[in-house]
Amino acid sequence: MVHYRGPAEAMESGYAETARRLSVTPGLRGAELLRGTTPGDRWVLLMRWSDMDAFRTWEDDLRRRGHPSPLRPYQDRTRPEGHYEILVET
């Protein structure tokens, strides 16, 4: 889960481009943009992966390419817990 803060128009257009890019990512089972229900333009990008290896491969490639996501400027780096979380099924 990646946490964001930003205006609806920017988030929705950025997500459309992100979803297009992610659609061909090996191991990605799905991605969706969720909007918070409280004021403050809070968003979460929820991505589901087949396994941690697929996620790590994608993440390493993203780092090598300089994190080209149109959503990057909206990452919520004010969160004490950080702007992203990795959760696993039990």
Q: For 24-50, what is the HEC assignment?
A: CCCCEEEEEEEECCCCCCEEEEEEEEC
Residue 87: inside a domain: no
Quote the pTM value.
0.88
Residue 41: inside a domain: yes
Domain that holds residue 10: 2-74
**Residue 2 — pLDDT band, cuts 50, 70, 90?**
very high
What is the per-residue pLDDT across 25-46, written as a single tens digit (0 to 9) for each?
999 999 999 999 987 799 999 9
Domain of residue 13, CATH code: 3.30.70.100
